[in-house]
C-alpha cells in the first residue's frame, strides 16, 4: 500500500522510519521527485530498481546533507569543491572516485568505483536526509522510460503500490533533472545537461566542460530514447500538420494553430527557466489526453535550452533502441 501524505514534519519523520526499515519513499527535490531508499542498504536499493523496472547496473545519485557528507562518500578534487561551493544546495550532481570508507552500497553505484553525489536544495529533501542521517539513493520517481515526475500525482500514476510512501511537497520548482558533471577523467565532463546551465559551471571552473565520447556509456541512463512520452514528437516544427497538437515556445505555433487544436506553451513569454519547469508536466498532459502526434516549436539552444532540447530529442527518439532507460 502507498501512503500519500502532505510533507509536514510528522510525515517526514514517518518517511525516515520507513527508509531506515528498508522501505521506499518518493520525495520532492527542487528538480523532480526522487524515488528514495537508504543508500547504505543494498536490498532497499534493489527495491528501487524493481519498482522502476530499471536495469540494475544503472548507478543512482546519492543525496547527501552537505559538502562534508559528500566528501565522506566521494573524493572531490579542488575543482569539484569549487562547483559544490557555488551550486550546493542545488541541482548539480558531481560524479567522482569513491572516498575510502564511503557508506554507499555497491548496488547503488552499480559496482562502479565512482559515485554520484548531490546536495538537494528542497526543504523536504533536506529534512528527510537529516531525519535519516544517511545518504538517500534516489533516481527520478518514474517507471523506466516514462518522463520524470514533477508532482506527487505523477509519482502515484507510475508507482502507486510499489512505493511505501509519497511525500507531497507540491510541484517541483525546476522541473528538469540536475546537471551531472564527472571528475573521473583528466578534465571535467558534462554527463547530462540539466537545471544548472553549462555556461554557469564553466564560469566557475574557468574551463570548458568536455562532452563524453559518443561510444562511451558513462551515464547509462542517457540512452537516446530515455525520456519517452507515448505521443510522437516532431521537433523544430514551424507549422502544424493535420491532427497534430502543439508543444509551443513563446507562442510561435499558437499563431498558426486552427481553433480546437491543443496548444501547450512551455513559456508564452519565451523564458527558458519557465520552459524547463513546464517540460515534463506538458509531456505528461499530452499522454493524459491520449494525443498521438505533437509538433514541437524551436527552443533556443542557450542556457537551459541545451537541457530542454536534449530531453526533447530523447523524447522524440525511436523507442525500440532503449534497453537502458531509467
Ligand atoms: O535531478 C535529479 O538528478 C533527480 C533528482 C531525484 O535528484 N535524479 C535523477 O536520477 O535524475 P536518475 O537516476 O534518473 O539519473 C541519474 C543519472 C543516470 O543517468 C546515471 O546513469 C548517472 O546519473 N550516474 C549515477 N552515478 C553515476 C556514476 N558513478 N557514473 C556515471 N553516471 C552516473
Ligand atoms: Mg530518470
Q: Based on the fold, state whether residues 150 and 20 are members of the same structural domain.
A: yes
User: Do 83 and 92 touch, CB atoms closer than 8 A?
Assistant: yes
Residue 279 to residue 50: CA distance in whole angstroms: 26
In the chain, at which residue ranges do the beta strands (DSSP E only) sit?
3-6, 25-28, 33-38, 61-63, 92-97, 114-118, 136-137, 165-168, 179-182, 189-192, 232-234, 245-248, 263-265, 293-296
Give the model's pLDDT for residue 224.
52
Mutate to test the pocket of ligand 1, among 91, 143, 177 (most ligand atoms within 8 A of CB): 177
Residue 14 to residue 20: CA distance in whole angstroms: 10
Whether residue 224 lies inside any domain: the answer is no
Residue 209 to residue 212: CA distance in whole angstroms: 10
Q: Which ligand lies nearest to the CA atom of residue 192 in the structure?
A: 1
Name the domain count of the chain.
2
The domain that holds 299 is classified in CATH as 3.40.50.11030
Range of the domain at 280: 232-316
Give the model's pLDDT for residue 297.
98
Pick the last residue of a domain from 185, 216, 247.
216
Residuewise pLDDT in 10s, the chain (326 residues): 899 999 999 999 999 999 999 999 999 999 999 999 999 998 898 888 888 876 555 899 999 999 999 999 999 999 999 999 999 999 999 999 999 999 999 888 887 889 999 999 999 999 999 999 999 999 999 998 889 999 999 999 999 999 999 999 999 998 899 999 999 998 999 999 999 999 999 999 999 999 876 544 445 445 554 557 889 999 999 999 999 999 999 999 999 999 999 999 999 999 988 888 788 889 989 999 999 999 999 999 988 888 889 889 988 987 644 433 45
Q: What is the side-by-side order of every strand in the sheet holding 293-296?
A: 232-234, 293-296, 245-248, 263-265
Q: Based on the fold, state whether residues 276 and 241 are members of the same structural domain.
A: yes
Write out the three cell numbers for 10: 510528522
CB within 8 A of 196, min separation 6: which ones?
A: 87, 90, 91, 92, 178, 179
Q: Which residues pair with 92 in a beta bridge?
A: 179
Q: Is the CB of 59 under 6 A from ligand 1?
A: yes
What's phi and psi for 109, nearest 5 deg?
-100, 5
Give the model's pLDDT for residue 219.
52
Q: Based on the fold, state whether residues 181 and 307 are members of the same structural domain.
A: no
Residue 192 alpha carbon, nearest atom of ligand 1: 19
Amino acid at each position: 500500500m502507498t501512503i500519500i501524505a502532505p510533507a509536514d514534519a510528522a510525515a517526514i519523520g514517518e518517511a525516515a522510519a520507513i527508509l531506515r526499515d528498508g522501505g521506499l519513499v518518493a520525495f520532492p527535490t527542487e528538480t523532480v521527485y526522487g524515488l528514495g531508499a537508504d543508500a547504505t542498504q543494498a536490498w532497499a536499493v534493489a527495491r528501487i530498481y524493481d519498482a522502476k523496472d530499471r536495469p540494475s547496473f544503472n548507478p543512482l545519485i546519492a543525496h547527501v546533507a552537505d559538502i562534508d557528507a559528500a566528501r565522506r562518500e566521494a573524493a572531490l578534487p579542488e575543482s569539484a569543491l569549487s562547483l559544490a561551493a557555488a551550486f550546493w544546495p542545488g541541482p548539480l550532481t558531481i560524479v567522482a572516485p569513491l572516498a575510502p570508507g564511503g557508506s554507499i552500497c555497491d548496488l547503488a553505484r552499480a559496482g562502479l568505483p565512482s559515485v554520484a553525489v548531490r546536495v538537494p536544495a528542497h526543504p523536504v529533501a533536506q529534512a528527510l536526509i537529516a531525519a535519516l542521517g544517511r545518504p538517500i539513493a534516489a533516481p527520478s520517481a518514474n517507471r523506466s522510460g516514462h518522463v520524470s515526475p514533477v508532482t506527487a500525482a505523477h509519482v502515484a500514476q507510475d508507482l502507486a503500490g510499489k512505493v511505501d510512501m509519497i511525500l507531497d511537497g507540491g510541484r517541483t520548482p525546476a522541473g528538469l533533472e540536475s546537471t551531472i558533471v564527472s571528475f573521473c577523467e583528466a578534465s571535467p565532463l558534462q554527463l547530462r545537461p540539466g537545471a544548472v546551465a553549462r555556461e554557469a559551471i564553466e564560469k566557475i571552473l574557468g574551463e570548458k566542460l568536455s562532452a563524453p565520447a559518443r561510444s562511451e556509456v558513462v551515464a547509462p541512463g542517457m540512452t537516446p530514447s530515455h525520456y519517452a512520452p507515448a505521443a510522437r514528437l516532431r521537433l523544430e516544427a514551424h507549422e502544424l500538420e493535420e491532427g497534430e497538437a502543439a508543444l509551443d515556445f513563446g507562442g510561435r505555433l499558437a499563431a498558426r494553430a486552427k481553433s480546437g487544436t491543443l496548444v501547450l506553451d512551455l513559456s508564452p513569454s519565451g523564458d527558458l527557466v519557465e520552459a524547463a519547469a513546464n517540460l515534463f508536466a506538458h509531456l505528461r498532459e499530452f499522454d493524459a489526453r491520449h494525443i498521438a502526434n505533437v509538433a514541437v516549436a524551436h527552443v533556443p539552444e542557450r542556457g537551459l535550452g541545451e537541457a530542454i532540447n536534449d530531453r526533447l530529442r530523447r523524447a522524440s527518439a525511436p523507442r525500440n533502441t532503449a534497453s537502458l532507460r531509467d
